[in-house]
Structure 1
Amino acid sequence: MFADYHVHTEFSDDSVYPMEDVVKDAIKMGLEEICVTDHVDYGIKIDWDCGKEIRYRNGEPYANVDYPRYMEEIKRMNQLYGDRILVKPGLEFGVQRHTISQFEVLFQRYPFDFIILSVHQVDDQELWTQDFQRGKTQQEYNERYYEEMLEVVKHFKNYSVLGHMDLITRYDEAGIYPFERVRPIVEEILKTVIADGKGIEVNTSSHRYGLADTTPSVEILKLYRELGGRVITIGSDSHKAAHLGAYIGETMKLLRELGFRQYCTFEKMKPIFHDLQEPL
């Protein structure tokens, strides 16, 4: 199985990659399955049908996914290309503790196969803009990030995997924060994830961002396996053609080296296990 389980299209506010182009490109590169996981970030973005005026950023609407059009387009892709590739409906939930109730409502509205749970903001402050980190010490913003994640996984259960679990490292301008300082809370997060039958993803975007480690780090992947974690997905976090399917084969090899023997795709929120192997 050669699958990419973190794919963005024009339905995300940060991508203009048409879904049909994504599917055609995926077929060309031999992907057997993709899951479309466009962004929903309550707290900082609004829904199209909320009755408020949509703001624009860099000429693109700064809003969550237009859900009815999105689900219809995924359905159309399977009708057109289903004999060559399977296109699964998913979303990437950017959850904060105070937005959990909104995501609970959204999850019940549509038949998703897969949900990535990510922490993109804390207290409605973005990581990538440095708004969250500004005015805090490196210790404060790293610990606060993982504290938020722990609270979310304790109280929100309608997800499949934790996305790019140590995302804060990508935007840490102070350098690498020692893992041992956050290990206790990371371990508590992973124990909660495992107990709930959920998983984590390996996000291959670490390569294109030039990070020194994988996302999540090798230390987190080792800890997850030591704690008994088995549910793991691989996703490119693609926003354009150059990203799609990138480094999936290399990631499979790494996971084997770390002792993992299988990785997952999903159907109706249930993991399907596949042996790790090099793609054809």
Structure 2
Amino acid sequence: FHVHPKHSIDSHAEAEDMVLSAISAGLKALCFTTHIDLNPLRCGVDLFMRVDGRLKVLTDSAVKSYIAEIADLKNRYAGQIQVWQGFELSYLPHYDAIARNFVEKYPADFVLGAVHCLDSLAVTSGGEATSYFRVTDVVTAAETYCGALKALARSRIFKTIAHVDGMKKYARGTYGESIDREMEARLPSVFDLFANEGAGIEINTSAMRKGHPDFYPSRKVLEMARDAGVRVNSIGSDAHRACDVGFKLDEALELIRDVGIGVGEPLKSFMDE
């Protein structure tokens, strides 16, 4: 429930190839969550979608083209796998209305909310992250990121928050393990807010594909979420290639059971089958 086909600006994977990969892996469902980044301060960088193999400015026709392609796959592979159409939206408070309007205009089967940027720099992208971290102390970075997570939950636009501790991906290169300590000191209050606002999280397995020893979130952070009453609503491989669809799904399911965290929708329905 976190897969990026070629429509995302950082993917070249054919959506149908991803469906076939999911079927081969024995998955019950696959949800496409193409990137939607609406930050008006980053229009020249992020406001694009790939259509017919070419990057184009994100327009109504581009979004509808994506929706139509996934709808076609949903129909053609019905009976073999459930194909869901969704989005992964970046969020910061200064464009709340823009994000809210997008979600209302383009109904989806599933929508992930995510924090990708701080101070208009993509802290989850290797090309930009160091530009932020090298001029920001670790305490400020952790506080700012956790504050953005709280704002995301308060918006109530999204029921599921993606890669909740995803900033560690590149922050560790600058701060070392201190970023984990600073984040872990602040995440309990983040999760208390998530629980109050009804926001769940995903387990994103891509961290291990990129050389990290654990998922997003780590086991320790997942235990914090459990203690706050937050549920895991989805598992995502964050695949940008067909061969990565379903990456370490079984391990993520095992972690959920081992930690004893609650499970929400849509994951609960599939685990109950």
Q: Shorter-normalised TM-score: what interval?
A: 0.7 to 0.9
Structure 2 contact 31–110 (Cα < 8 Å) conserved: yes
Q: Which is further off, 190-199 or 233-242?
A: 190-199
1:217-239 deviations in whole A, cap 9, x for unaligned? 11211011111223431100000
**Superposition TM-score, scaled by structure 1 size:** 0.84
Partner of 2:165: 166
Q: 2:55 aligns with which of 61, 65, 68?
A: 61
Is 1:35 the equivalent of 2:27?
Answer: no
Structure 2 contact 113–152 (Cα < 8 Å) conserved: no
Report 1:217-232 matches (<5 A): 217-232=218-233
Structure 1 contact 90–113 (Cα < 8 Å) conserved: yes
Is 1:81 the equivalent of 2:81?
Answer: no
SS in 1 for 2:254: helix
Q: Which is further off, 66-75 or 175-184?
A: 175-184
Aligned residue pairs: how many? Answer: 261
Q: Which is further off, 240-249 or 228-237?
A: 228-237
Partner of 2:150: 150
Partner of 1:269: none
Return closer, same or farther for 1:192/1:273 CA change in 2, 3 Å cut-off: farther
How far is the alpha carbon of 1:69 from its aligned partner? 0.5
Let me know the Cα RMSD of the aligned residues.
2.6
The unaligned stretches of length 5 or more in structure 2 are: none
Report the Cα distance in structure 1 between the residues aligned to 2:37 and 2:146, rounded to whole angstroms: 18
Return closer, same or farther for 1:126/1:262 CA change in 2, 3 Å cut-off: closer
How far is the alpha carbon of 1:263 from its aligned partner? 5.6
Report the Cα distance in structure 2 between the residues aligned to 1:169 and 1:93, rounded to whole angstroms: 19
Q: Which is further off, 63-72 or 76-85?
A: 63-72
SS in 1 for 2:89: strand
**Percent identical:** 26
How far is the alpha carbon of 1:181 from its aligned partner? 3.2
Report the Cα distance in structure 2 between the residues aligned to 1:176 and 1:61, rounded to whole angstroms: 37
How far is the alpha carbon of 1:79 from its aligned partner? 1.4
Partner of 1:201: 202
Is 1:94 the equivalent of 2:95?
Answer: no
How far is the alpha carbon of 1:132 from its aligned partner? 2.4
Is 1:112 the equivalent of 2:108?
Answer: yes
Structure 1 contact 92–117 (Cα < 8 Å) conserved: yes
Would you tell me which structure has more helix in proportion to its own residues?
Answer: 2
Report the Cα distance in structure 2 between the residues aligned to 1:63 and 1:142, rounded to whole angstroms: 33
Structure 1 contact 26–245 (Cα < 8 Å) conserved: yes
Report the Cα distance in structure 1 between the residues aligned to 2:45 and 2:96, rounded to whole angstroms: 15
Structure 1 residue ranges, 4+ long, deviating more than 3 angstroms after superposition = 45-48, 62-65, 178-185, 260-264, 272-277
How far is the alpha carbon of 1:250 from its aligned partner? 0.9
Structure 1 contact 47–63 (Cα < 8 Å) conserved: no
How far is the alpha carbon of 1:168 from its aligned partner? 1.0
How far is the alpha carbon of 1:178 from its aligned partner? 5.3
How far is the alpha carbon of 1:262 from its aligned partner? 4.2
How far is the alpha carbon of 1:83 from its aligned partner? 1.6
The unaligned stretches of length 5 or more in structure 1 are: 267-271
Return closer, same or farther for 1:46/1:140 CA change in 2, 3 Å cut-off: same
Partner of 2:237: 236
Return closer, same or farther for 1:22/1:91 CA change in 2, 3 Å cut-off: same
How far is the alpha carbon of 1:123 from its aligned partner? 2.2
Partner of 2:139: 139
